[in-house]
Amino acid sequence: MEHLAPRWVLLAGTLLGTLATGSTRSARDLSPTQTPMDTAPESFDDDYKGCVEQMRAELPELNCTEFTHNRVYAEGWKAAAAEWQRRWGGRPQPGQLRQEQAIALLAYTGGSKLHKQFNEDTRRGGCSHQHYLNSYHFKALHFLLTTALRDLRRSHPSECHHVFRGVRDVRFAAKKGSAVRFGHFASSSLQRNISKRFGTDTFFEIRTCLGAPIKHFSSVPCEDEDLIPPFEVFKVTEFRRVNGGNLIHLHSNGMQSRHTCELLK
């Protein structure tokens, strides 16, 4: 397994030369979008309970397919692998993670294009089994991030964190007492002021018990990031409008995974 990630890197670099350029996304509206929070019922939220080793066996072939179909993923992985080599090539990386998990975290934090497309696709990636199999081309990244967070939490499995998340251009609304999920991997920070740089149209204060600090594996370690998985459920403990934006307090309330080892079915 030690040599798996370098083969993925080589393949990603080769395929990038043959893939067509993707279409340009339309510009955002100038006014913030009003969006109610819910439990993200169409999210792909697999936690891979009971099938981690079987999924690892699928990774080489899975990445061959996904690098071919997903230029954003191929580009992001190639850049992250180069960053991994710069940081740890020839010397040990921090010990909790495998090489491919560390590269996945670097890819996720390394560029807004991959981060945005991955989260959009994850929020609807579980709408059906066929959609997941045929149209969700982040299967490997989802698996690697999910297991990376689990492994990072292993030394402190019951530890919870008080984190912050700032959002620009979207004003989320939530009913006090309701259950919600982000439905994608949600970036947050242990530092309030850092989170405010990302926006205050919606500002979250969150107690997460399934997220994990990823600072040592982030492309931007100064952001002091804590990454929250799609399947963590939160209770809304406060919702109010503050200085033209929305303030939402969330308290971890367990997990809800509607998918289990979906690729292997």
Higher pLDDT, 176 or 23: 176
Based on the residue annotation, tell me whether 83 is a catalytic residue of this protein: no
**Active-site annotation holder among 66, 98, 187, 223:** 187
Res 20 pLDDT > 80: no
SS3 262: helix
Using CB atoms within 10 Å of the CB of residue 148, give its burial: 0 to 12 exposed, 13 to 18 middle, 19+ buried: buried
Look-up of token digits 């080589």: 10
Residues with Cβ within 8 Å of 147's Cβ and at least 6 positions away in sequence, in order, are 48, 52, 101
Measured distance CA(201)–CA(246) in Å, rounded: 6
* Alpha-carbon gap, residue 172 to 250, rounded angstroms: 13
d(CA 101, CA 10): 17
User: What's residue 201's pLDDT?
Assistant: 97
pLDDT at 24: 39
Q: What digits encode the pLDDT tens for the residues 166-200?
A: 999 999 999 999 999 999 999 999 999 999 999 99
Mean pLDDT taken over the chain = 90
pLDDT at 7: 58
Six token digits for residue 157: 């499995």
Q: Which of the residues 71, 98, 150, 165 is marked catalytic? A: 165
Report percent pLDDT > 90 for the chain. Answer: 80
Fill in the DSSP letter of residue 14: H
Closest to 105 in 3D by CA, of 79, 137, 86:
79
- pLDDT tens across 216-250, in order? 999 999 999 999 999 999 999 999 999 899 999 99
Domain that holds residue 44: 4-21+30-264
Q: Which CATH number fits the domain that encloses residue 78? A: 3.90.176.10
For residue 205, indicate whether it is catalytic.
Answer: no
Spatial contact of 188 and 208, defined as CB atoms under 8 Å apart: yes
- Selecting among 225, 232, 257, 262, the annotated active-site residue is 225
Annotated active-site residue 218? The verdict is no
Residue range 129-149: mean pLDDT, rounded = 98
Rounded to an integer, what distance in angstroms lies between the CA atom of residue 133 and that of residue 125?
9
Q: How many domains does the chain have?
A: 1
Please compute, for residue 38, the number of CA atoms within 13 A of its CA located in the half-sphere on the CB side. 7
Whether residue 43 contacts residue 229, with contact meaning beta carbons closer than 8 Å, is answered with: no
